[in-house]
Each structure stands twice: as C-alpha cells, then as structure tokens.
Amino acid sequence: MTIDFQAEFDKRKDEFMADLTSLLSINSERDDSQADDKHPFGPGPVKALEHFLAMAERDGYKTRNIDNYAGDFEYGQGDQVLGIFGHLDVVPAGSGWETDPYQPVVKDGRLYARGSSDDKGPTMACYYGLKIIKELGLPVSKKVRFIVGTDEESGWADMDYYFAHNGLKDPDFGFSPDAEFPIINGEKGNITEYLHFGGDNAGSVLLHSFTGGLRENMVPESATALISGQLNQGDLAEQLAQFTAQHGVTGQLEKQDDKYQVTIFGKSAHGSTPEEGINGATLLASFLTSFDFAASAKDYLTVAAGLHGDFTAEKLGLAYTDACMGALSMNAGVFRFDSQSADNTIALNFRYPKGTDEHVLKAGLEKLAGVEKVSLSEAHHTPHYVPMEDELVKTLLSVYEKQTGLKGHEVVIGGGTFGRLLKRGVAFGAMFPDSINTMHQANEFMALDDLYRSAAIYAEAIYELIK
C-alpha cells in the first residue's frame, strides 16, 4: 500500500490551522503565584491541557487528565507501546514582540506566536500525523500513547507526577516532537548550579538591587540595577551610552530620588545555545564593575561580569569536551541581588556531556572568590544516548530521508527534551536543518511549510513504527 502522507495532510490543512491557532491563543506560561491543588503550575497550563484533551475527545479518543499535571490517550492494539511526548507549557513571552504573542499571526509564510515552534506547533503536527493514520484506518500492531505535559519548560514536575500516577506500564520506546530533524539521539546532562552571595555594601557607590533573567534556560534579554553614591547623572549617562554603543546594544538610565536605575537590553535565546543571545545581565555587570563598589556587592558584580561570553565555562576552568557528545555549555540565566537580603544568587545552567558531572562543576564553582556557597537544582538530567543501531533511530532516519531527500545523521544537543524520559527515547523534529531557530525568543515563529511537511513525516514515521 502506497500512501501519500503529504497529500493526506493537505486535505486537513485548514482544520489543522484552526486547531493550532486556538491552542496558541492560550497563555500557558507557568505562574506559581496562582498555583494550587487544582492548578499545579497555575491556570494557564491547565487551560491548555483541557483544550487539547477536548480536541482529542472530539476526534474519538478516550482521554485521561492526570490531575492537571499531564494528559494522554491511546490508539491501536498490541503488546508494545510507542510513546509520543509533547508539551503545552511555554516560556514567558518577555518583551520585544512586534505582535501579541498570544494572538497568532501569519506573515510571509510564518506563524508567529509563543509556542509556535516550542512546542505547540510540533505537538499539533504530530497529533495530525496520528490523526491521518486513524482516519485512514491503517492496520497497526502496536499501541500509540500520546502524552502531553505542562511543565517541560521548568522542572519537569509534570512528568515526574505522570509516571508516578498514570497507572500504566511505561512505553517501550518513543520520541518527542520538540527539537530538530534529522534526529536527536543524544542529549547532554542538564543541571542548574546556584552561586550564593551576601548583600552587604561598602565603597563610594552602593548596589541596592540587580535583577536579570526570567528562566534558567533562557539567556537574559535585559537586566536592571539600582545604584547610588558618588555619581554624576551626566557622566553616568555618557558612560552608559559609550558602553552600549561599543557592545551593539541599548541601555536606559532613570533617576529615582537619590538613586539611579540602569538597564541594558540584550537578546534572549535558548539556554542550550547561549552563544546565540546577548546576555543583558552579564553585560550590565561588566559596565558596573568600573565603579567603586565593595564587599558582597563588588563580589557579585565581579563574578557576574566574568561570566560574560564564557559559554563553555573555560574562564571558570570547567570546560570539558567528549568526543561523542561534544562540549559542555553554560548559560548564566537568572540574577537576583537585593542589599536587604543575606542570600543573593546567580543561576548557572550547565549542559554537560558524559565524562563530567554536577559534583565536578560544583567543586570548581566553590573556588570562585566571593562566592559564599554553591547549591544544586532539584531538577537534574544526566546525559542520555540511544545508539544509531537501534531500530527506533534507523526507522525515523529512514522516513526522514525518504520524505526530504536529505541524508540523516545523529545529533547530540545541549537542550533537554522529553525524549530522554525513555531509555529508548529520542527527539524527532520539527525544526529542519535550514530552519531559523526562534525558540525562547521574542517574535517566535515557525514556517508554515515546515509545520506542514513535519506533519507528513510524523504520519509516516508513526505508521512505520506501529504497522
């Protein structure tokens, strides 16, 4: 039987766009300020989950909502289970958008919205791939369990809860449509380590506060400091203008009573590729180190400034490269300093290959001058790898090559996906090698052609894995 999966998707294109647009219109950012027993990550993620499951019910699936942490449905029959893992939560929209991030807009063949590429767009493309198989009534010998989470962008507490409470045996193998083609069969370890500082000040200039970054897995697009002391507004404004011009960014200076609020605007990017962004926080610290701070304030700014551009932790003496999995990467993601607090932090998110670990990193960070202690995040993922010889990897690459005419090959990334939830789990699409990556950035988009052809690839891939 020969099936033109692209033609089958094209018949459903309008329906797909309507479903995707409605899902993208839901602000599903995590909001701990509104979290409760019924909304573990706030109301937005729950609303997106309920919307997705209602759509699946409409299409004839029997769905399950696992206490608003995650949801699933199954299709097919057989002893073996293929798991497909998507997620409905998104990172904070942040600033710098030219359109409303939760009012999807199509411009020049691109769909703009928060979540269009990470991960609502790919999740829906994969959903429609399975929908094609179901509606065509193709014969299958395995089950598919389609699982959607609501906390992938934070601590994966959704999947911790799902695997502990869903009551079914784990899928035997699977993939997550939350990365790139041709395949992601290796993922580096992922740990956040927190540098702790005191809050005392001395010197002729005082640091009252320093804030930057929204999430540990995002490059801070901006940072703001509140300072006072022996400063002249005109001189400060001129120095800031020269500094920002030198670094190709913008800044802002505002006087607040006897204090000055200084802001530098950089560019956000995914924390696994910090070199693609401009870290507003480390730049701001670099600017401030020229002033006469002292005590913990000086230690904080000196360490923060030293992190600028150190994407492989080479300046920290922690650089490491594995022949298979590549180099360690580091993102300085969240900065919080308040002179009234005795515990101020810098969050460093590491993506590390096999051959090093969180304890080696912690020991190195503890040697930094001015750092009082180092602590580790509860969320921690060790390096993950599925060999090229695995039948799952071979099948997915075969479908990719057939559909695109491009040669498949293995890829190891610093990003963490739900593919690592299973021993035989990988990430598969939906970004293509020539795609522009706007994940975690302002004006996030996904090209419509990429969404459409990924849906056809998912349809054939799922069928080849379960037929």
Mean pLDDT of the chain: 96
131 CB neighbour count, 10 Å cutoff: 24
- Residue 366 is a catalytic residue: no
Judge whether 85 and 176 are in contact, CB under 8 Å.
yes
pLDDT class for 145, splitting at 50, 70, 90? very high
Judge whether 260 and 231 are in contact, CB under 8 Å.
yes
State both tokens at 106. 């199509």
Give the tens place of pLDDT for each residue, 322-356: 988 999 999 999 999 999 999 999 999 999 999 99
- The per-residue pLDDT for 324 is 86
- Give me the catalytic one of 19, 29, 89, 460: 89
For the chain, report the end-to-end CA distance as a whole number of angstroms: 12
Interatomic CA distance for residues 248 and 264, integer angstroms:
11
- Give me the catalytic one of 152, 216, 299, 358: 152
Burial grade of 3 (CB within 10 A; 0-12, 13-18, 19 or more): middle
Query: What radius of gyration, in Å, describes the C-alpha atoms of the chain?
Result: 23
pLDDT > 90 in the chain, percent: 95
Give the tens place of pLDDT for each residue, 445-456: 999 999 999 999
Instruction: State yes or no: pLDDT of 110 exceeds 80.
Output: yes
Give the tens place of pLDDT for each residue, 220-268: 999 999 999 999 999 999 999 999 999 999 999 999 999 999 999 999 9
Give the tens place of pLDDT for each residue, 45-91: 999 999 999 999 999 999 999 999 999 999 999 999 999 999 999 99
Sequence letter at residue 107: K
The DSSP H or E segment spanning 112 is strand 110-112
CATH 3.40.50.1820 fits 5-188+384-466, yes or no: no
Alpha helices in 156-200 (DSSP H): 157-165
Judge whether 446 and 274 are in contact, CB under 8 Å.
no
Please tell me the pTM assigned to this model: 0.77
Judge whether 146 and 113 are in contact, CB under 8 Å.
no
- The per-residue pLDDT for 414 is 83
Sequence letter at residue 323: A
Average pLDDT over residues 4-28: 98
Q: What are the C-alpha distances in Å from 187 to residues 107, 128, 157, 282, 376? A: 33, 26, 19, 27, 20
- The per-residue pLDDT for 372 is 97
- Residue 152 is a catalytic residue: yes
Interatomic CA distance for residues 81 and 72, integer angstroms:
13
Give the tens place of pLDDT for each residue, 201-215: 999 999 999 999 998
- The per-residue pLDDT for 379 is 83
Q: What are the C-alpha distances in Å from 71 to residues 27, 45, 47, 50, 148? A: 18, 11, 12, 9, 5
Pick the CATH number of 190-381 from 3.30.70.360, 1.25.40.420, 3.40.50.1240, 3.10.20.90: 3.30.70.360
- The per-residue pLDDT for 1 is 67
Domain ranges in the chain with CATH number 3.30.70.360: 190-381
In the 8-state DSSP scheme, what is residue 182? S
Least reliable range by pLDDT among 42-46, 320-324, 346-350, 426-430: 320-324
Judge whether 219 and 309 are in contact, CB under 8 Å.
no
Instruction: State yes or no: pLDDT of 415 exceeds 90.
Output: no
- The per-residue pLDDT for 104 is 98
State both tokens at 370. 């001015």
Which of these, 18, 103, 106, lies nearest to 448 by C-alpha position? 106
Give the tens place of pLDDT for each residue, 364-393: 999 999 999 999 998 888 999 999 999 999
Judge whether 172 and 198 are in contact, CB under 8 Å.
no
Which of these, 380, 363, 300, lies nearest to 332 by C-alpha position? 300
Alpha helices in 271-422 (DSSP H): 280-288, 295-306, 358-365, 391-404
Domain ranges in the chain with CATH number 3.40.630.10: 5-188+384-466
Q: Which of the two residues, 415 and 326, has the higher pLDDT score? A: 326
